[in-house]
């Protein structure tokens, strides 16, 4: 069995400094770091994000299309 030596993840170029500093984070963790809570957070977590969503801290998130 061949061992995996590399893994790749596509990310927005604008997110690269944060990824280098904090590693890859889940959407929920990104909402935490951006200070998003309440109804706004519930809406972001419940719906598919088909377009780029810029969080207050400048991080851009989006879901992959199905």
Q: What's the pLDDT tens digit per position in 4-34?
A: 888 888 888 888 998 999 888 988 999 999 9
Instruction: Band the pLDDT of 62: cuts 50, 70, 90.
Output: confident
What was the pLDDT predicted at 66? 57
What was the pLDDT predicted at 36? 96
CB 65 within 8 A of CB 50: yes
Q: In this model, does residue 65 exceed pLDDT 70?
A: no
Provide the 3-class DSSP secondary structure of residue 1: coil
Tell me the average pLDDT across 49-60. Answer: 88
Burial class (CB in 10 A: 0-12, 13-18, 19+), 18: middle
């Amino acid at each position: 069995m061949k061992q995996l030596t590399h893994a790749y993840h596509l990310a927005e170029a604008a997110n690269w400094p944060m990824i280098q500093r904090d590693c890859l984070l889940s959407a929920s963790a990104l909402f935490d770091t951006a200070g998003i809570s309440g109804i706004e957070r519930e809406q972001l977590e419940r719906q598919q994000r088909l377009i780029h969503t810029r969080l207050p801290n400048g991080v851009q998130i989006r879901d992959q299309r199905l």
